[in-house]
Structure 1
Amino acid sequence: MLLRCVNDVEARKILEEVHEGICGTHANGFNMARKIMRLGFYWLTMESDCINFARKCHKCQIYDDKIHVAPSPLHVMTSPWHFSMWGMDVIGPISPKASNGHRFIFVVIDYFTKWIEAASFANVTRTTVGRFLKKEIICRYGLPERIVSDNATNLNNKMMKEVCE
């Protein structure tokens, strides 16, 4: 197959289109050079230009496999058994309000089984959180080993410490 020799401007357009165009695969430099040759184009520094273009591609740098990164310690957030570790958070305010006037949803999720307990409230206060945890979590599933929260004021207070103690 005869290849068409292109100049620098055309080569740049071809590189951009093949690498990140509509059907671009963000391939590495060698594969991109082979693909350009199959399309029928050629220039003298094609392979090195393809390698340099792929190295400078921002998306390729972000989403590339990090196999050469130094190892770091893992912080495992799994629970050893079901209902021993719960995560809790508040969703809201929600607009428009629910039919009963509630604007917040209090959500508690088990880390092991991904079981969800949720309730809606007009306001999520310290007493509401404490009452919900006692009634819906501790009485139904037993005392959890850990409770994880985002340290919001209604989730991190003296009453929560009393519930945990």
Structure 2
Amino acid sequence: MAAGFVLDGDILYKRGKDQVLLRCVDAVEARKILKDVHEGICGTHANGFTMARKIMRLGYYWLTMESDCINFARKCHKCQIYGDKIHVASLPLHVMTSPWPFSMWGMDVIGPISPKASNRHRFIFVVIDYFTKWIEAASFANVTKTAVCRFLKKEIICRYGLPERIISDNALNLNNKMMKEVCE
């Protein structure tokens, strides 16, 4: 028997650096453990080295564990889509300056918020001036294009005048024919 390994009945253990016994597993069980630790109910989509340390803390071991963890993390579809884009070519920054107060506003919707507010509202409609960082906000049960247009007329245009620009994320309730009519 190699140094650091202990046989207890039919189960093989490896003695870790901290003298804790780690149960040796076969390739089939190793694949299941990799999947559970990486993307299971408590999975964090960690990188290979972190995942290998986490598996050892859980009490498992196999000879090619670290390289298997690295390869598994590299092939994870969600990690590829949502991971940091560190190898992407840099893009020039576009300066967004507002020449005077209340000339350029950004708008977005926060929600759905859970639990609902006491008045049963689930969404917050927020409009922010880029120059002063002044915020106008209101809560709504549903953010419809009618509610957005009414809010912009009453709270922004009537108070601060027609802005030069209104920036949104192109959601249908924020960017539609009714909005164009309000701005015209």
User: TM-score scaled by structure 1?
Assistant: 0.58
Output the CA distance in 2 between the equivalents of 1:18 and 1:146. 47
How far apart are residue 144 of structure 1 and its match?
3.8
Indicate if the aligned counterparts of 1:19 and 1:27 stay in contact, CA closer than 8 A: yes
Output the CA distance in 1 between the equivalents of 2:157 and 2:39. 51
Output the CA distance in 2 between the equivalents of 1:88 and 1:26. 32
Q: Which has the higher helix share?
A: 1
Output the CA distance in 2 between the equivalents of 1:55 and 1:27. 10
Indicate if the aligned counterparts of 1:4 and 1:42 stay in contact, CA closer than 8 A: yes
Q: Which runs of 5+ in 2 are unaligned?
A: 1-14, 16-20, 109-124, 139-144, 169-173
User: Could you tell me which residue of structure 2 aligns to residue 111 of structure 1?
Assistant: 129
Aligned residues: 132
Q: Which runs of 5+ in 1 are unaligned?
A: 90-106, 161-165
Q: Tell me which of the two structures has the higher relative contact order, counting C-alpha pairs closer than 8 angstroms and 6 or more residues apart.
A: 1
Indicate if the aligned counterparts of 1:88 and 1:108 stay in contact, CA closer than 8 A: yes
For the pair 1:137 / 2:157, whether they are aligned, the reply is yes
User: TM-score scaled by structure 2?
Assistant: 0.53
1:3 aligned counterpart, secondary structure: strand
Deviates more, 1:80-89 or 1:22-31: 80-89
User: Could you tell me which residue of structure 2 aligns to residue 25 of structure 1?
Assistant: 44
For the pair 1:58 / 2:70, whether they are aligned, the reply is no
Q: 1:23 to 1:142 in 2, by over 3 A?
A: closer
User: Could you tell me which residue of structure 1 aligns to residue 64 of structure 2?
Assistant: 45
Report the identity percentage: 70
Indicate if the aligned counterparts of 1:78 and 1:111 stay in contact, CA closer than 8 A: no
- CA-atom RMSD, angstroms? 3.8
User: Could you tell me which residue of structure 2 aligns to residue 9 of structure 1?
Assistant: 28
What is the letter of the counterpart of residue 137 of structure 1? I
Q: Which has the higher strand share?
A: 2
How far apart are residue 108 of structure 1 and its match?
9.5
What is the letter of the counterpart of residue 78 of structure 2? K
Q: 1:148 to 1:14 in 2, by over 3 A?
A: closer
